[in-house]
A and B are shown apart, each in its own frame.
Chain A
Amino acid sequence: MRTLTIFLIAVALSGTRAFAASDQTVVVGSKRFNEGYILAEIIAQVLEDRGFRVERRFGLGGTLICFEALTNGNIDVYPEYSGTLAEAILRLPRRVSYAELRDIVKQRFDVDLLDAFGFSNTYAIALDRGLAEQRGLQRISDLARHPDLRFGFSHEFLNRHDGWPGLARAYELAVRPVGVEHGLAYKAIRESKLDVTDVYSTDGDIAKFNLFLLEDDKHYFPQYLAAPLVRAAADGRIKEILDELAGAITDDQIRELNAMVVVEGTSFAAAAHHFLSGAGLLTSGRPHVEKNKWTILVSRTGTHLKLTLVALVAGMIVAIPCGILAYRIRAISRPVMYVAGLLQTIPSIALLAFMIPLFGIGAKPAIAALFLYSLLPILRNTAAALYSIDPVLKKVSVGIGMTAWQRLRYVELPLAAPTILAGVKTAAVINIGTATLAAFIGAGGLGEPIVTGLALNDTSLILEGAVPAALLAILTEWAFEGLEKLMIPAHLLQKPAE
């Protein structure tokens, strides 16, 4: 008894990560947009350099998912912006200083906002560098003296209360801007069809299009200072190490890193390594080694299959008996079907999000969501197959003296098997598709490049996930066909219409 108790305590302790720093795994998260990935990589590589094992949970669905994952202890650290923290998470009614912000998150959420990396990613007003030099434009207030310039802003900026309307008031600008699609504005400026537009101050395209950012001399735009956000309960050494990054990244540097990724197609890891080694922040001097693409593909496919398979098997274990019960007990048949049907109508992203408070982020909530999705096809096919068995056969099996269990085992289930198997196949294929969305909550798999590709608007990256996922779905279909041939006498299978 005593050894058992000690063993249980040891198991419990191992779950709380109460080990020495060198053995300890730090879970680093990131939101799903390029700068978020790069900053998270920088954090991850610095920690790895100092001997931590790092688990990357990048590309999490959004601000709230990241923040909840952090407060739940699913991740230890992720890069966040001061402005986002104040507006989206804390919903503060007024502007607060960085120090105040730090106190508030510490008190309310037990989270440490470390010193900022140095740059601010906020709205900025940009124009062609040549034009700026020619007219001698330095600050936004200079614009008031050049009413002939053509202004074009993204629709969001035009309509946000902290966008153009406020800016025009603050700087007393009397021009009438037009609305332009953000992606097209840069091109329009290069072709001299437009002079002034709004940009994100760290946008990698700024250098590519040779744009000049005007100084916000009246401090109209709120600061979006990027900084590591760390669980207060996390190892103190993590904070010490990450403090070395304080003020280490300038606006120009982050713009360059963003450009490396967006324009040149460098990987996040390589860009982060480029910065860290350039800044002399790496102690071990290990060169960055890009992982082999195929190794990555195999490991992603493995993760994907694991998510799908575990959910599918769990789905079968629950749905087949429930289908049998629904068939045997008429009274529960409808309620069971309705509940399963209802689950199916919940959009996948929403279902995944609902799982986070229950299971955190990572594989568990993804498996839970996929499990729920696999219930209906299996359940419905099981019940329908059992209902549709020839009544003569049912009567005979009763009449010749088989018990309820024997009828189920030797007559009803074997006759229902083709349809049940078809239900399992449907669930499997649905799961393979839906599992690509699981990357939003940090479960990895083939959805990872899709999510990243969506964030970067990079079609080839999206295809890196989408093509293997589609192939996997087709292979699954084939595998089930093979299984049918093995398990079920040919004359019981429905042949496709000629």
Chain B
Amino acid sequence: MAQITLENISKFYGDQQALDDIDLTFTDDVTTAVVGPSGSGKSTLLQLINGLEIPSRGTALVFGKPIDYQRLPELRLRLGYAVQGVGLFPHLTVEANITLLARLAKWDPERIKARAGELMKLVTLPPAYMERYPHELSGGEQQRVGLCRAMMLNPQVLLLDEPFGALDPMTRTEVQREFLHLQRSEARTVVLVTHDLREALKLAERLVVLDRGRLLQHGTRDEILENPAHGFVRSFFQSQLED
């Protein structure tokens, strides 16, 4: 049983249809990028997985079971989550941000310290940063801290919503490299929402292409590049990869 399956899901906001009958199983332990133009429903699809969005029709299954919407915090602790704009808590130090969930989960202090140190090393942040506040860090550094926080509890699934969106190209390349490094050392199922097709091709083995709430194609990077299933997919790829 795959970790994440979306069964015939539609999502409406009033009359507006955000997702139209999405039927999709994410492959375990690889990175899947969700791509498509803005307004195609990428973020909505991601948020179905951690219950921030509730489907109007259909079922979201995570870890083999339909989501129990009464017990979301429990589920979410097993799903790392990072967003554009980072969302680090400004009143907490880097260390406190990274370790917050582990402390709430009453982890042993030694274990917390070890795990936080390990993550900081993986994303090449100096240990001295532990005591700093987020506003004292550059955008790229903050993004890395955000990744560390998402991975603190070593979740089997990582949900990333445009996590590198706000970074300048140089920094983005750097952070993307850290991410690949991380993924190689601790492989997990990653769902990455991005509007940047180059980023998707660089970081993800598999792609999901959305347009106006419909699933146009799902497959490995090469399958889709070689056999775009749809005129839109072809033109989307062309327009994105040309310049």
Contact = CB atoms under 8 A, between A and B. Distances in A.
B200 to A, nearest CB: 21
Contact of A410 (B76, B79, B100): B100
B81 A396 contact: yes
B99 to A, nearest CB: 12
A135 B83 CA distance: 101
Nearest to B152: A400
B133 A491 contact: yes
A400 B135 contact: no
A201 B4 CA distance: 96
Given A392-B83, A415-B90, A491-B90, A399 B52 contact: yes
B127 interface: no
A402 B81 CA distance: 12
B116 to A, nearest CB: 15
B135 A399 contact: no
Interface string B75-109: 11111110101110111100000001100100000
B91 A415 contact: yes
Contacts of B100: 410
Contacts of A393: 87, 89-90
A396 to B, nearest CB: 3
A273 B135 CA distance: 70
Contacts of A414: 91-92
A400 B76 CA distance: 6
Interface string B53-90: 00000000000000000001111111111010111011
A399 B73 contact: no
Contact of B50 (A399, A402, A403, A488): A399
Interface in A473-498: 488-489, 491-492
B149 interface: yes
B91 A403 contact: no
Contacts of A400: 76-77, 80-81, 101, 149-150
Nearest to A415: B91
B141 to A, nearest CB: 16
B52 A489 contact: no
Most buried by A among B74, B86, B87, B135: B87
A359 B88 CA distance: 50
Interface in A366-402: 390, 392-393, 395-402
Nearest to A400: B81
Contacts, number: 64
A406 interface: yes
A411 interface: yes
Nearest to A403: B73
Contacts of A401: 72-79, 81, 101
A415 B88 CA distance: 12
A395 B91 contact: no
Contact of A395 (B79, B87, B90): B87
Contacts of B77: 400-401
Contacts of B50: 399
B91 A489 contact: yes
A492 B75 CA distance: 32
Interface in B97-133: 100-101, 104, 133
Most buried by A among B74, B78, B80, B100: B100
Contact of B135 (A392, A411, A488, A491): A491
A393 B74 CA distance: 19
Contacts of B159: 399
B104 A406 contact: yes
Contacts of B150: 400
Interface in A71-128: none
Contact of B104 (A392, A396, A402, A491): A402
A489 B79 CA distance: 30
B51 to A, nearest CB: 9
A263 to B, nearest CB: 63
Given A400-B81, A406-B104, A411 B74 contact: no
Contacts of A397: 89
Contacts of B104: 402, 406, 410
Contact of B85 (A392, A402, A411): A392
A392 B104 CA distance: 21
B156 to A, nearest CB: 13
Contacts of A390: 87
Given A410-B100, A489-B133, A491-B133, A399 B89 contact: no
12 contacts: A390-B87, A392-B86, A393-B89, A395-B87, A396-B81, A396-B83, A400-B80, A400-B149, A401-B79, A401-B81, A403-B73, A491-B135
Given A395-B83, A415-B89, 17 more contacts: A392-B83, A396-B83, A396-B87, A398-B52, A399-B81, A399-B159, A400-B77, A400-B80, A400-B101, A401-B78, A401-B81, A403-B73, A406-B73, A410-B100, A489-B91, A491-B135, A492-B90
Identify the 6 closest CB pairs spanning chains A and B, nearest first: A401-B76, A396-B87, A401-B77, A399-B81, A403-B73, A392-B87
